[in-house]
Each structure stands twice: as C-alpha cells, then as structure tokens.
Amino acid sequence: MPEAINIATIKKNYPNEWVLLGNPMMDDSNLEVLSGVPLYHSKDKKEVCYIGRDKTASFEKITLIFTGTFKPTRKITGIFNRIQ
C-alpha cells in the first residue's frame, strides 16, 4: 500500500487539480486535510469521482480536495444595487 504524503507535497505535485485521497489525516477540528494517500488526480472533478471510485476499495476513509484556489465565477451585483 502506498504511503501518505503531506498536503504541501500533494499541492506541489498536483497543482490546480482535484485529488482523491485515501485515509486522509485531518487536523483537530476535522476541517483541514494534513496528509493522505493520493489515489487519482485530474483537472476534471467528475473524472476523479468516476474513475477514482474503483481505487477506493481498500481504504476506510476517502476525501476529495482541490489543490488550487477557487475563483468566483459570477459577479453578485444587481439586486444589492437596487436596494436603498
């Protein structure tokens, strides 16, 4: 079985990609992933979900992370400009 890799190395190896991780180690608040075993990665989230599903059988826990930053896709204006 492959070894867990820390999150900094995962972000370095798979920049701006979705990464499926097996047996993720979380921080005390269970909100941040600290490390895990990379099972599958791609720029396409759906591809990771569908193709990666077969690779998760031997893991108790799995999680999906994005190693980049999210950019807003829409501007929220309109309604807020009209309210006075």
Q: pLDDT tens, 13-26? A: 999 999 999 999 99
| Residue 75 DSSP SS3 | coil
Position of tokens 């972000």?
11
Angle, vertex CA 52, rays to CA 50 and CA 58, nearest 5? 130
Q: Which residues pair with 24 in a beta bridge?
A: none
pLDDT band at 75 (very low <50, low <70, confident <90, very high): low
Phi, psi at residue 12, to the nearest 5°?
-70, -40
Question: What was the pLDDT predicted at 67?
Answer: 96
Q: Which residue has the tokens 């989230």?
A: 45
What is the pLDDT, as a whole number, of residue 50? 94
